[in-house]
Amino acid sequence: MGQTLAEKIWQSHVVDQVTGLPDLIYIDLHLMHEMTSPQAFDGLRAAGRRVRRPDLTVATQDHNVPTGLADRLTVTDPVSRAQLRALRDNTAEFGIEMYGLGHDDQGIVHVIGPQLGLSQPGMTIVCGDSHSSTHGALGALAFGIGTSEVEHVLATQTLRLPAFRTMAVNVTGSLPAGVTAKDLILAVIAQIGTGGGQGHVIEYRGEAVRALSMAGRMTICNMSIEAGARAGLVAPDETTFAYLRDRPFAPRGDAWEEATAHWWSLRTDDDASFDREVDIDVTALRPYITWGTNPAQGGQLDGAVPDPASFRDPGERAAAESALVYMGLTPGTPFRSIPIDVVFVGSCTNGRIEDLRAVADVLRGRPIKAGVRMLIVPGSTAVRHQAEAEGLDKVFTAAGAEWRAAGCSMCIGVNPDRLGPMQRSASTSNRNFEGRQGAGARTHLVSPPVAAASAILGRLGSPEEL
């Protein structure tokens, strides 16, 4: 019987199999950021070990960095300061490449890996960060790992990883105009739930996935983790190769020809079977948003806040009840009437140049609503430079938005970009948990065009209303 793509990559990386223990897997690329690495380096030091393959390890500073142009280098929070300094010192001590603050290649770890051509088809990639699934868009098997595993990879370039189950998400039809990869993944998560992918590696397949840009594929793979999946991936094709060609770390010349010949073999065999398959037809998909406090509590923007009583499952009903209290929402309220205070565009889900272009297309020539704060935060310094070369920053600032420097920013409240209590945001990020964007803050996850339209309207809405 044939194999799935995920199984093929796994098998080609098994270093050791011992009965009763998870497989020992070779790791091709280890990405790091400041939040999950300090203790790993402390552990190495305590054991007197070195980093086995510093050449396969790359670090950046993203979570704790200020994105304000004025306070970029003034990190006042002591914890953030200590973590940023630790990463700088540790990478210098252990000989690891570091794209830190001030470096042209700095950015959110899941944005810079693909952008530099570090993340490639067929690789095993790990990072001490759950959204490592993003790199699966390149046809890699990419897992988020914990800090003790970070230490293990640093020391050995291998990791014992538990076996996974396979799942196919088959996406048919083509996305209607104005409907994006973000809407698609929010709809998938609403359909299968936050635990729907548990223990599985999801392969996204079908014509609608083939038609997605690499940025779109990264958006859907990124959020696989919000459905509980171990990883998400898309088989590599011409779109992948066109994206990777000539990137700084992509193979060149004959090595490129050899690599692409191999990469073409990286696909699920026709006679392979998945442990689970989910079908979704996107022909009639509309912009999707979340109303609750987990990414599966979502619905079409055309709809209204649901009545918790409408959920048959008692767990889902209770979760909806408490989410509506936290979110300050009343059943039956049309989504398009919900006022917002802040709009955040950015994150490893939607902080790429394509996302910023989509936002600029909506904002061009239109001011954002008085009283609304809009932050536009490029996913990397290179994205920032590209956007400026295209004049997008002028569009943003002319509309009244803040154009900021690269980092995780308001996706997570561990840097100065935070919402105040009860402030409500439309956010292109991936998590709407209680307190995620600041204590007491209320988050609606949206696509880039919906974020831009909402900033103009001062309430949740889409470009068709403008």
Q: 127 labelled as ligand-binding?
A: no
362 and 399 in contact (C-beta within 8 Å)?
Answer: no
Of 144, 196, 228, 407, the one binding ligand IPM by CB under 6 A: 144
Closest by Cα among 263, 272, 264, 331 to 297: 331
Applying the rule CB under 6 A, the residues between 11 and 70 that interact with ligand IPM are 35-36, 63
Which residue in 124, 347, 380, 447 binds ligand SF4 (CB under 6 A)?
347
Quote the CA–CA distance of 346 and 407 in Å, as a whole number: 8
CA-based nearest residue to 202, from 223, 172, 181? 223
Partner from ligand SF4, ligand IPM, none contacting 157, C-beta within 5 to 8 A by type:
none
Tokens of 47: 């054991």
CB of 67 to ligand SF4, least distance (A): 11
Residue 439 beta carbon to ligand IPM: minimum distance, rounded to whole angstroms = 16
DSSP track, 382-446: HHHHHHHHTTHHHHHHHHTPEE--SSSGGGSSSSS--PPTT-EEEESSS---TTTTSTT-EEEE-
- Enter the tokens of residue 64: 């704790």
Q: Which partner, ligand SF4, ligand IPM, none, binds residue 108 by CB below 5 to 8 Å per kind? A: ligand SF4
Q: Which partner from the list ligand IPM, ligand SF4, none does 404 bind, CB cut-off 5 to 8 Å by kind?
A: none
From 245-253, 322-330, 407-415, 440-448, give the range in contact with ligand SF4 by CB under 6 A: 407-415
Output 268 or 415, the one with its CB closest to ligand IPM.
Answer: 415
**Closest CB to ligand IPM among 223 and 233?**
223
Q: CA nearest 404: which of 48, 166, 34, 70?
A: 70
Write down the least CB distance from residue 402 to ligand IPM, Å: 22
Is 411 a residue that touches ligand SF4 (CB under 6 A)?
Answer: yes
CA dihedral 378, 379, 380, 383 (to 10 degrees): -50
Tokens 């990777």 — which residue? 244
* Helix, strand and coil in the chain, % to nearest 5: 40, 20, 45
Does position 130 interact with ligand IPM (CB under 6 A)? The reply is: yes
Among 8, 13, 30, 131, binds ligand SF4 (CB under 6 A): 131
235 sits near ligand IPM (criterion: CB under 6 A)? no
Residue 36 binding target from ligand SF4, ligand IPM, none, CB below 5 to 8 Å by type: ligand IPM
Query: Nearest Cα to 421, choosing from 341, 321, 334?
Result: 341
Instruction: Indicate the DSSP class of residue 177.
Output: T
| Minimum distance of ligand SF4 from residue 395's CB (angstroms) | 23
Contacts for 72 with CB less than 8 Å, ≥ 6 apart = 65, 66, 101, 405
Closer CB to ligand IPM, residue 131 or residue 267? Answer: 131
427 binds ligand SF4 per the rule CB under 6 A? no
Q: How many residues bind ligand SF4 (CB under 6 A)?
A: 13
H/E element, 143: strand 141-144
- Which stretch in 161-169, 232-240, 265-273, 408-416 sits in contact with ligand SF4 by CB under 6 A? 408-416
Tokens of 324: 């509506």
Instruction: Return the residue of 8, 30, 131, 424 that touches ligand IPM, per CB under 6 A.
Output: 131
Candidates 123-131, 190-198, 226-234, 315-323: pick the segment binding ligand IPM (CB under 6 A): 123-131
Other C-beta atoms closer than 10 Å to the C-beta of 257 total 11
| Structure token digits, residue 58 | 């790359």
Number of shown-chain residues binding ligand IPM (CB under 6 A): 8
H/E run at residue 168? strand 165-172
3-state secondary structure 236-269: CCHHHHHHHCCCCCCCCHHHHHHHHHHHCCCCCC
Binding mask 364-403 for ligand SF4 (x = CB under 6 A): ----------------------------------------
With binding defined as CB under 6 A, does residue 227 bind ligand SF4?
no
| 3-state SS, residue 161 | strand
CB-nearer residue toward ligand SF4: 27 or 32? 32
Do 442 and 422 meet the contact criterion of CB atoms below 8 Å apart?
Answer: yes
CB of 65 to ligand IPM, least distance (A): 13
Bind-site residues for [4Fe-4S] cluster: 348, 408, 411
Bind-site residues: 348, 408, 411
Binding site for ligand SF4 (CB under 6 A): 62-63, 108, 110, 129, 131, 347-348, 408, 411-412, 429-430
